[in-house]
């Protein structure tokens, strides 16, 4: 709502440049780089069934790209991650998870490190379709050196220490 004098002209409306719609994706990464990523089809949401399918694909990918290295997953308490079906699937797939306190986005490396960097890169770009966005995200991830990903995980240690020092209170930056 806008208040103005009766004789004032209407505000100018700017033409919006049409770009691709929002593209959602799930990404798993470690100190060496991106291990697995999946993009969500337009109009779909992540539920337990979808997340379990992603975990199965991740397990296969881990066998191929990380060979026999131990893997520990750290994810938040979003409903699909915390559901009984997902927890059963994690046990069945023998995927170890790092506990994550509820409502702690400051302890999710993708939230405080990877996604902000990716958003900074994508800002100002306009895409005609989702495939262009997906291709650009893949390109960006491949161009990041392993030091980039290692830095993100080193920051996790710092964030955890701050969280412990503050008795679990939220750590902004």
Q: Is 134 exposed, middle or buried (0-12, 13-18, 19+ CB in 10 A)?
A: middle
Pairing of strands 25-30, 33-39: antiparallel
pLDDT value at position 106?
64
pLDDT value at position 42?
79
Domain ranges of the chain: 25-165
User: Which of 80-89, 95-104, 136-145, 163-172 is predicted most confidently?
Assistant: 136-145
C-alpha distances out from residue 136 to 7, 26, 121, 158, Å: 48, 15, 10, 30
37-60 pLDDT per residue, tens: 999 887 788 889 999 999 999 999
Stronger pLDDT, 164 or 46, i.e. the higher one: 46
Per-residue pLDDT band for 147 (boundaries 50, 70, 90) equals very high
Q: Check whether 100 has a pLDDT greater than 80.
A: no
Q: How many CA atoms lie within 13 A of 112 on its CB side?
A: 22
DSSP letter at 105?
G
User: Residue 33 belongs to what H/E stretch?
Assistant: strand 33-39
Q: Check whether 173 has a pLDDT greater than 60.
A: no
Query: What is the number of residues in the chain?
Result: 173
Q: Check whether 146 has a pLDDT greater than 90.
A: yes
149-162 pLDDT per residue, tens: 999 988 888 877 87
59-80 pLDDT per residue, tens: 999 988 887 677 788 876 577 7
User: Residue 149 belongs to what H/E stretch?
Assistant: helix 146-165
CA distance 113 to 151: 9
Q: Which fold has domain 25-165?
A: Nucleotidyltransferase; domain 5 (3.30.420)
Mean pLDDT score of the chain, rounded to an integer?
A: 82
User: Across the strands, what pairs with 5?
Assistant: none
**Closest by CA position to 37, among listed 110, 120, 113, 128:** 110
User: Residue 38 belongs to what H/E stretch?
Assistant: strand 33-39
């Amino acid at each position: 709502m806008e208040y103005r004098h009766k004789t004032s002209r209407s505000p100018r409306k700017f033409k919006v440049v049409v770009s691709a719609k929002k593209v959602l994706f799930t990404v798993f990464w470690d100190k060496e780089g991106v291990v697995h990523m999946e993009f969500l089809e337009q109009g779909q949401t992540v539920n337990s069934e979808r997340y379990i399918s992603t975990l199965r694909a991740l397990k296969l990918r881990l066998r191929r790209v990380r060979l026999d290295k131990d893997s520990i997953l750290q994810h938040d308490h979003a409903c699909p991650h915390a559901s009984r079906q997902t927890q059963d699937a994690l046990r069945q797939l023998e995927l170890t998870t790092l506990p994550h306190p509820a409502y702690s986005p400051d302890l999710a490396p993708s939230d405080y490190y990877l996604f902000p960097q990716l958003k900074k890169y994508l800002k100002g770009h306009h895409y005609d379709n989702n495939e262009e966005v997906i291709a650009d995200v893949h390109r960006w991830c491949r161009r990041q050196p392993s030091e980039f990903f290692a830095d993100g995980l080193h920051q996790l240690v710092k964030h955890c220490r701050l969280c412990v020092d503050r008795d679990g209170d939220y750590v902004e930056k």
